[in-house]
């Protein structure tokens, strides 16, 4: 996974384990830079440890790297994205070949402009490029959507054609349109920017209204905890929610980048963000 992740691991080790002999740090860094990464499969990295956001950078559409309204805070062991200002919380390091496990819950707060819409956030994977490139708020990448009724949908954030994926799908009604739902074993199709892979059981009558609940929803309601697991292995992406496989994408054209959570008008809380390398 490379030198960036080696450094990230050492920072995490120093934070969690205490003093670490500097001559060993130097040797490890040299080894990581010149040979294979030091991290072994299954050795987790706490991207959020319940204490601070030291693994992350913040960016807000109207404030850059400043956060005057406390859109991103840590209190009582929870990471809170208030949703007040639009922007993103992105990892300092880039990653490839990993599994990330996120425990989150929707908070009760929503903000004008989206106070009548379904609560919305999003986890952008393999995020690259310039901060604020998309909507003056986010990085480009492959998004695991987090939205009431549609968590685990997969789409491209932004219009950069370098991002693309494939998925096995079937067409079914989705409101007054036809939706493209994930179905294991069905014919595969391309998903360029501007398209959306729907999770297999998404309610065909979904509406963009606050508190929407579909009859087959896997996601739990407001102030109930969910476990979201996204596995990025090679050119494949698998999304699981509360133990159920929701979507799967293949033939990803970008296979390395940052992770970024969106702030998009809705409060969301996190108590666990753990990244586990797969090689």
State the CATH number of the domain containing residue 94: 2.60.120.560
The verdict on 132 and 100 lying in the same domain is: yes
pLDDT at 206: 97
Give the Cα separation of 209 and 168 in Å (integer).
29
pLDDT at 11: 43
The verdict on 2 and 50 lying in the same domain is: no
Ramachandran assignment for 87, one of left (phi > 0), alpha (psi -120 to 50 degrees), beta (any other):
left
Contacts of 139 (CB under 8 A, 6+ apart): 88, 90, 124, 127, 128, 129, 130, 131, 133, 157, 257, 258, 260
Contacts of 176 (CB under 8 A, 6+ apart): none
Q: Are 231 and 216 in contact (CB under 8 A)?
A: no
What average pLDDT is seen over the chain? 89
Give the Cα separation of 110 and 116 in Å (integer).
8
Closest CA to 88 of 138, 41, 135, 21: 138
3-state DSSP assignment of residue 6: helix
The verdict on 142 and 214 lying in the same domain is: yes
pLDDT at 241: 98
Q: Are 100 and 238 in contact (CB under 8 A)?
A: no
The verdict on 33 and 108 lying in the same domain is: no
The verdict on 183 and 243 lying in the same domain is: yes
Q: pLDDT tens for residues 99-151?
A: 999 999 999 999 999 999 999 999 999 999 999 999 999 999 999 999 999 99
How many structural domains is the chain composed of? 2
**Could you tell me the residue range of the domain that residue 23 belongs to?**
1-39
Q: Are 2 and 37 in contact (CB under 8 A)?
A: yes
The verdict on 83 and 178 lying in the same domain is: yes
What end-to-end distance do the CA atoms of the chain give, in Å?
7
Within 10 angstroms of residue 35's Cβ, the number of other Cβ atoms is 8
The verdict on 78 and 8 lying in the same domain is: no
pTM exceeding the 0.75 threshold for the entire prediction: yes
The verdict on 220 and 179 lying in the same domain is: yes
The verdict on 124 and 7 lying in the same domain is: no
The verdict on 150 and 249 lying in the same domain is: yes
Q: Which residue has the tokens 């300092």?
A: 92
The verdict on 7 and 92 lying in the same domain is: no
The verdict on 66 and 194 lying in the same domain is: yes
């Amino acid at each position: 996974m490379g030198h960036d992740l080696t450094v990230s691991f050492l920072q995490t080790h120093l934070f969690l384990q205490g003093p670490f002999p500097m001559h060993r740090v130097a040797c490890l860094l040299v080894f990581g830079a010149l040979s294979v990464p030091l991290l072994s499969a299954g050795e987790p990295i706490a991207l959020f440890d319940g204490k601070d956001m030291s693994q992350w950078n913040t960016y807000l559409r109207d404030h850059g790297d400043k956060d005057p309204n406390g859109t991103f805070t840590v209190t009582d062991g929870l990471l809170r994205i208030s949703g007040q200002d639009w922007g993103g919380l992105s990892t300092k390091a880039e990653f490839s070949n990993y599994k990330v496990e996120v425990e989150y819950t929707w908070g009760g707060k929503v903000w004008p402009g989206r106070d009548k819409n379904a609560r919305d956030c999003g986890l952008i994977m393999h995020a690259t490029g310039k901060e604020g490139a998309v909507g003056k708020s986010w990085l480009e990448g492959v998004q695991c959507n987090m939205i009431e009724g549609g968590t685990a949908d997969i789409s491209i954030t932004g219009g950069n054609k370098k991002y693309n994926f494939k998925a096995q799908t079937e067409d079914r009604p989705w409101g007054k349109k036809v939706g493209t739902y994930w179905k294991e074993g069905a014919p595969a199709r391309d998903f360029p920017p501007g398209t959306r892979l729907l999770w297999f059981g998404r309610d065909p009558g979904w509406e963009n209204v606050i508190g929407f609940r579909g009859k087959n929803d896997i996601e739990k309601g407001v102030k109930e905890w969910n476990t979201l697991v996204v596995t990025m292995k090679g050119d494949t992406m698998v999304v699981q929610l509360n133990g159920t496989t929701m979507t799967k994408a293949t033939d990803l054209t970008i296979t390395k980048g940052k992770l970024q959570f969106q702030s998009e008008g809705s409060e969301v809380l996190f108590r666990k963000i753990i990244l586990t390398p797969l090689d």
